Amino acid sequence: MVHEVVIGLGSNIRPETHLELAVKELESRFIVSRRSSWSRTEPVGITDQPDFFNGAVLLKTNLEQNALKRMLREIEDQMGRDRSLPKSGPRVIDLDILIWNREVVDEDYYERDFLRKGVAEILPDFEAN
């Protein structure tokens, strides 16, 4: 079965470079049909760090959700993400499944405007469940 998935991307360590590298990596593995613009956002939680750049891509995959999560984690690791840092700390790249077959699967979607903005750009007719 082919799944339609929105992946949220974020970075605040050389974000322009790392976000583009992450998109290229996703394009090498999946059919990426749309991508949002990048939004500059202030850090949440730990505020003494550079601003983040965030966006989203729409892709199609035949992987199941857990397999895709593992692959996204592998991409983050390959790009140098330091998992010893706090969850809301600085990061090279953050890749999260936001929408799975038109259903919200990341609760942060409801709390973070920048996530909804990225989704709205690539799925303008989307209505959250």
Which two structure tokens, joined as six digits, stand for 56? 């989203």
* Catalytic residue flag (residue 91): yes
Which two structure tokens, joined as six digits, stand for 39? 């939004």
* Catalytic residue flag (residue 106): no
Rounded-to-10 torsion of CA 46, 86, 6, 105: -100
Residue 86: C-alpha distances to residues 74, 96, 113 (Å): 19, 16, 22
Spot the catalytic one: 35, 81, 112, 116.
81
- Enumerate residues 6+ apart whose C-beta is below 8 A from 29: 71
Spot the catalytic one: 35, 48, 96, 113.
96
The secondary structure of residue 38, as a DSSP letter, is P
* Catalytic residue flag (residue 96): yes
One-letter amino acid at 88 equals S
Spot the catalytic one: 14, 48, 94, 108.
94
Spatial separation of the C-alpha atoms in residues 104 and 128, rounded to whole Å: 6
* Catalytic residue flag (residue 108): no
Spot the catalytic one: 51, 73, 91, 113.
91
Active site residues: 81, 91, 94, 96
